[in-house]
């Protein structure tokens, strides 16, 4: 019997709801087809945004959406995406699949999507191939209400009032696709660009996010923090789970247990990364004013056979669900420093929560984890730990259990528990410091490791009510099935 100790009285950091953020890039069928079909589409839509997808996303309360990239961000010139659609520039999306980008989805459309989703926009601006003026004017176009050339232009394009833009990214992956810069060069560029991104309404400050490291590039974190820490509110971190490395990602479905173990091990590595980058940040920012923003994370496998390599379209199984639950648990535990995260990507790309095919739409196992975990949004992390045991596959070892716990403002206790073993169920006893909860409810997502939803069988992987819980004098006990994610709510 594994004991899961929870002490709701020991409150830690707030789990910012923005940790449940998403990322949408002009890549493959994420924006076009996945989110935006245009007003004239036969697929039901509101102002061009597909209704089925927007409704599904609203149900999991998306708090923030990052756009337009990704690598696309540092090639994106925002003025190409405003004004009458017929006159917008058509170009080739050289980075992603070599397809025509007609710029029919631009600033106005993105803000409209965020309005429909009820989420904060997070605009990632172009530092790599843009100019200081271009970035400055974009901020002016979006956020200035007074008399100015950009404000007038916005009004001419049909939007009288400025939008509220809280989050601004100043470049993306500038160590790579965003200009191949050194940390020192980028940090100086960052200081210059952000200077001209003005705050036009003191009530609505801009939260400026600098480009942070790739995976374990601690020298980048050190270099950028050293030169630019006084000028940023957040530093990004990008980390993708590739089961066997960048060159050998393996298939999204039909994988074996060794692959499962390797994927889980890589997902668990997020803890090391966040710990070590945070330590470097602590030296320059001991008060933890600057947030670590994990604005690209998720599993990255081979694309589905027969699809455009540049579209990064892949299926999503129970393995992705567990990558999701483990990652969210880790981010909860680091919520003193991690205040936003954005899964890559929202629809039809990498670890998507939604997949579409024509007018059809399915929710992936990852979607269901975001659903099960919703109560953690804006709750407070509390002290918890679990007696896990090591399980192995050949040379790989991982813990069999993973957890996190939080308390919502109304006192509800939220417990999350994952069983990483694909073979063995586990007896669990939750030991609470105070077991006087009146109601207990739980939902579970469980299936074979390769199970996934398809357009013909969209409900193969679905959460179910979990009632096999037994009260004990100190809490509850139950059996947690293999390959599962359980969410318990106690009031």
* Alpha-carbon torsion, ordered 145, 147, 149, 155, to 10 deg: 50
> For ligand AHR, which stretch binds (CB under 6 A), given 63-71, 264-272, 421-429, 465-473?
63-71
Lookup: tokens for 491:
């009031």
For residues 149 to 178, the per-residue mask of contacts with ligand AHR, x marking binding by CB under 6 A and - elsewhere, is: -----------------------xx-----
Shortest distance (Å) from residue 298 CB to ligand AHR: 8
Note whether 324 and 1 are within 8 A (CB): no
241 lies in the site for ligand AHR, by CB under 6 A: no
Shortest distance (Å) from residue 366 CB to ligand AHR: 15
Shortest distance (Å) from residue 198 CB to ligand AHR: 26
Distance between CA atoms of residues 66 and 82, nearest Å: 18
> Which C-beta is closer to ligand AHR: that of 240 or that of 260?
240
> Which C-beta is closer to ligand AHR: that of 63 or that of 70?
70
Shortest distance (Å) from residue 92 CB to ligand AHR: 16
> Which C-beta is closer to ligand AHR: that of 326 or that of 344?
344
Of 328, 344, 432, 476, the one binding ligand AHR by CB under 6 A: 344
Distance between CA atoms of residues 137 and 46, nearest Å: 29
Going through 290-377 in order, the beta strands assigned E by DSSP cover: 291-299, 338-344, 354-357, 360-363
Distance between CA atoms of residues 20 and 374, nearest Å: 8
Note whether 404 and 380 are within 8 A (CB): no
DSSP assignment letter at 162: P
Lookup: tokens for 130:
């843009």
Q: Which residue is nearest to ligand AHR (CB)?
A: 70
Q: What's the start-to-end Cα distance of the chain, in Å?
A: 24
Shortest distance (Å) from residue 434 CB to ligand AHR: 43
Shortest distance (Å) from residue 75 CB to ligand AHR: 10
> Which C-beta is closer to ligand AHR: that of 345 or that of 450?
345
> Which C-beta is closer to ligand AHR: that of 69 or that of 106?
69
296 lies in the site for ligand AHR, by CB under 6 A: yes
Note whether 48 and 85 are within 8 A (CB): no
**Residue with tokens 């006990």, as numbered in its chain:** 477
> For ligand AHR, which stretch binds (CB under 6 A), given 69-77, 148-156, 254-262, 453-461?
69-77
For residues 246 to 285, the per-residue mask of contacts with ligand AHR, x marking binding by CB under 6 A and - elsewhere, is: ----------------------------------------
Query: Which residues touch 331 (CB under 8 Å, ≥6 apart)?
Result: 19, 270, 274, 294, 338, 341
25 lies in the site for ligand AHR, by CB under 6 A: yes
475 lies in the site for ligand AHR, by CB under 6 A: no
299 lies in the site for ligand AHR, by CB under 6 A: no
Note whether 114 and 101 are within 8 A (CB): no
| Catalytic residue (choose from 33, 75, 109, 296) | 296
> For ligand AHR, which stretch binds (CB under 6 A), given 55-63, 64-72, 193-201, 281-289?
64-72
Residue 359 falls in the annotated catalytic set: no
**Residue with tokens 């050293």, as numbered in its chain:** 226
CB environment 39-76: b (16+ within 10 A), e (fewer): eeeebebeebbbeebbebbeebbbbbbbbbbbbbbbbb
> Which C-beta is closer to ligand AHR: that of 142 or that of 343?
343
Shortest distance (Å) from residue 427 CB to ligand AHR: 40
> Which C-beta is closer to ligand AHR: that of 326 or that of 350?
350
Distance between CA atoms of residues 31 and 27, nearest Å: 7
Of 28, 38, 48, 69, the one binding ligand AHR by CB under 6 A: 69
18 lies in the site for ligand AHR, by CB under 6 A: no
**178, HSE (Cβ side, Cα atoms, 13 Å):** 29
Residue 415, number of CB atoms within 10 A of its CB:
26
> Which C-beta is closer to ligand AHR: that of 270 or that of 469?
270
Shortest distance (Å) from residue 69 CB to ligand AHR: 5
Closest CA to 268 of 425, 414, 396, 415: 396
Q: How far is CA 409 from the centre of its chain?
A: 24
* DSSP-assigned letters across all residues of 353-414: SEEEETTEEEE-HHHHHHHHTGGGTT-EEEEEEE---EEEETTEEEESEEEEEEE-TTS-EE
> For ligand AHR, which stretch binds (CB under 6 A), given 33-41, 67-75, 150-158, 204-212?
67-75
| Catalytic residue (choose from 173, 189, 403, 426) | 173
Distance between CA atoms of residues 35 and 348, nearest Å: 9
**Residue with tokens 């007074």, as numbered in its chain:** 146
In the three-class reduction of DSSP (H, G, I as helix; E, B as strand; rest coil), residue 347 is classed as: strand
Note whether 334 and 387 are within 8 A (CB): no
Closest CA to 344 of 64, 117, 66, 61: 66
**103, HSE (Cβ side, Cα atoms, 13 Å):** 19
> For ligand AHR, which stretch binds (CB under 6 A), given 53-61, 286-294, 342-350, 451-459?
342-350
Of 2, 71, 322, 428, the one binding ligand AHR by CB under 6 A: 71
> Which C-beta is closer to ligand AHR: that of 172 or that of 262?
172
70 lies in the site for ligand AHR, by CB under 6 A: yes
Residue 173 falls in the annotated catalytic set: yes
> For ligand AHR, which stretch binds (CB under 6 A), given 68-76, 253-261, 354-362, 433-441?
68-76
Q: Which residues lie near ligand AHR (CB under 6 A)? A: 25, 69-71, 172-173, 296, 344-345, 350
Catalytic residues: 173, 296
């Amino acid at each position: 019997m594994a004991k899961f100790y929870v002490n709701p009285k020991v409150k830690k950091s707030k789990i910012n709801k923005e940790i449940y953020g998403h990322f949408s890039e002009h890549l493959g069928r994420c924006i076009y087809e996945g989110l935006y079909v245009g007003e004239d589409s036969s697929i039901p839509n509101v102002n061009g945004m597909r209704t089925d997808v927007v409704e599904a996303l609203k149900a999991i309360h998306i708090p923030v959406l990052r756009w337009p990239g990704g690598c696309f961000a540092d090639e994106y010139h925002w003025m190409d995406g405003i004004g009458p659609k017929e006159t917008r520039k058509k170009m080739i999306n050289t980075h992603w699949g070599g397809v025509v980008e007609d710029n029919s989805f631009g600033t106005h459309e993105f803000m409209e999507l965020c309005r429909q989703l009820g989420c904060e926009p997070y605009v990632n601006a172009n530092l790599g191939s843009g100019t200081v003026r271009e970035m400055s004017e974009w901020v002016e176009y979006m956020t200035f209400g007074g008399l100015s050339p950009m404000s007038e232009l916005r009004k001419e394009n049909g939007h009288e009032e400025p939008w509220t833009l809280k989050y601004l990214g100043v470049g993306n992956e500038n160590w790579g696709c965003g200009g191949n810069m050194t940390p020192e060069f980028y940090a100086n560029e960052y200081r210059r660009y952000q200077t001209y991104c003005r705050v036009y309404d003191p009530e609505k400050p801009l939260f400026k996010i600098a480009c942070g490291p790739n995976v374990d590039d601690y020298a980048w974190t050190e270099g950028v923090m050293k030169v630019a820490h006084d000028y940023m509110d957040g530093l990004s971190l990008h980390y993708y789970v590739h089961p066997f490395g960048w060159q050998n990602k393996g298939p999204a479905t039909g994988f074996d247990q060794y692959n499962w173990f390797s994927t889980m091990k890589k997902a668990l590595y997020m803890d090391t990364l966040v710990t070590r980058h945070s330590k470097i940040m602590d030296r320059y920012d001991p008060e933890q004013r600057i947030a670590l923003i994990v604005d690209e994370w998720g599993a990255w496998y081979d694309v589905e056979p027969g699809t455009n390599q540049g579209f990064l379209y892949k299926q999503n199984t129970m393995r992705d669900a567990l990558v999701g639950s483990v990652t969210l648990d880790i981010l909860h535990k680091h919520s003193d420093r991690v205040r936003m995260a954005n899964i890559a990507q929202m629809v039809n790309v990498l670890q998507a929560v939604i997949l579409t095919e024509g007018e059809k739409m399915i929710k992936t196992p990852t979607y269901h984890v975001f659903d099960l975990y919703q109560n953690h949004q804006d709750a407070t992390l509390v002290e918890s730990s679990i007696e896990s045991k090591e399980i192995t596959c050949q040379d790989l070892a991982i813990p069999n259990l993973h957890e996190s716990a939080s308390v919502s403002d109304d006192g509800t206790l939220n417990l999350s528990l994952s069983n990483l073993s694909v073979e063995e169920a586990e007896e669990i006893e939750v030991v609470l410091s105070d077991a006087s909860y009146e109601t207990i409810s739980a939902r579970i997502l469980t299936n074979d490791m390769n199970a996934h939803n398809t357009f013909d069988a969209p409900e193969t992987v679905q959460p179910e009510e979990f009632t096999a819980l037994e009260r004990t004098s100190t809490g509850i006990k139950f059996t947690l099935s293999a390959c599962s994610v359980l969410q318990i709510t106690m009031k």
